[in-house]
Amino acid sequence: MALPQDRLENALDDKKPTFSESEARAEAERCLYCADAPCIKACPTEIDIPTFIKKIASGNVRGSAKTIFDQNLLGYSCSRVCPVEELCVGDCVYTGWGRDPIPIGRLQRYATEKATKPEEKALFTPKARKDKKVALIGAGPASLACAGYLALEGVEAIIFEKRAVAGGLNTTGIAPYKLHAQDALHEVEWVQSFGVKIETGVEVGKDHLTGQKLLDAYDAVFIGVGLGEDTKLGVPGEDGPGVVGATAWIEEMKLHKKQGEKLGHVVVVGGGNTAIDVARECALLGAASVTMVYRRSAKEMSGYAHEMEGARVEGVQLVESAQPVGFVRSAQGELTAIRVARTEGGKNIPGTEYEIPCDLAAVAIGQSKLRALASEFPGVEVDARGCLKADPATGRTGNAKVFTGGDCVNGGKEVVNAVADGRNAARTLLAAWGF
């Protein structure tokens, strides 16, 4: 049975509505405006949080947004997707006192959402065009941040994106209940308003665009390609209808809204934040049941505790210390169950196999690394994980003209980490050029 359209739209909507002016000012006035604010230190982009909140309290919303964007050009999306409970809000002094912390993320959303509306006067005016140009590979948060900061200083920035849409995981891989695709694309357009150019449907290393051509034509190259395809389990019955990669499922849901209309019994394999995102989205979409399967104990899950608690509240069940060993299909090839074995220390216990009925299984155990791209650029190396090697403070690689950042370097962290990487690379280049 298809989910009613109003239920589908509600489930796809983010769960934290924007503050009204009175709500925002009331919350902002609670802030202590700490001199040595722990919330700033907890933010990977080091936004001056007390200052932007104080400006909201005084009614200077544009000034508040500018304070945010000076450090985090993608502050709009980060206000929605950042795990603030683990970062700035988690370090708010009120949290330590056992009191309600300042809702930093929602205040940031209030300021940035208002400032980026098309009808609002531009916050920034790009400087006159310089004689430098930079090519960026991948149109995700790291590249968008890097390109945006460069463009504001007059550097020509052109992003090459292999997909048909820009925005990276913000557009395709973060659950709709956190961030709509159209909101991510709105932010992309805002960055483009600084003069950033984006060419979609172009893959470096293919489509007649080699790394060497970029090195010859541009003053620098930034690699911000993120991660690759969803990792497979490699068990019998995995290839076929009903078994999907987690990020592929989210992309289908965000861009096409197809999967959510026929959700029955869902099993999500994995214990990270992507697994939790898929489980929660399925629960919100009205699935008959949602079960997460994780091979170790709940305490060993890499997903955030507050996210898992939200999943439990929404009806998601967790089967811990269990690992898939195969998928069960009908004579017609339809998925009917996932077969799992009990584990101890992450290893299967012989003779403990059993089945969990399901008609959809989402596999969220990681993504592949795009290590092949390194071979396009002499001097760029990969580490033992398959991630690109770079100076964490500057994004410099072993090639003087090549910089990198985001998930392709860190293996998969938060959007705000990618933004910090892109910004730092831009600042390094600008300083080197004397801008």
For 360-376, the pLDDT digits (tens) are 999 999 999 999 999 99
For 125-154, the pLDDT digits (tens) are 999 999 999 999 999 999 999 999 999 999
For the chain, the maximum distance between any two Cα atoms, rounded to a whole number of angstroms, is 70
Spell out the CATH class of 133-228+368-432.
alpha beta
For 66-95, the pLDDT digits (tens) are 999 999 999 999 999 999 999 999 999 999
For 303-353, the pLDDT digits (tens) are 999 999 999 999 999 999 999 999 999 999 999 999 999 999 889 999 999
Residue 235's alpha-carbon distances to 232, 240, 327, 340, 345, in angstroms, are 8, 12, 8, 11, 20
For 266-276, the pLDDT digits (tens) are 999 999 999 99
Residues of the chain above pLDDT 90, percent: 90
Q: Where in the chain is the domain with CATH 1.10.1060.10?
A: 16-115
pLDDT at 258: 59
Q: Please, are residues 45 and 109 in contact by the beta-carbon 8 Å criterion?
A: no
pLDDT at 5: 45
- Domain 243-363 matching CATH 3.40.50.300: the answer reads no
Q: Where in the chain is the domain with CATH 3.50.50.60?
A: 133-228+368-432, 243-363
Stated pTM of the model: 0.94
Spell out the CATH class of 16-115.
mainly alpha
Token pair for residue 82?
């950042």
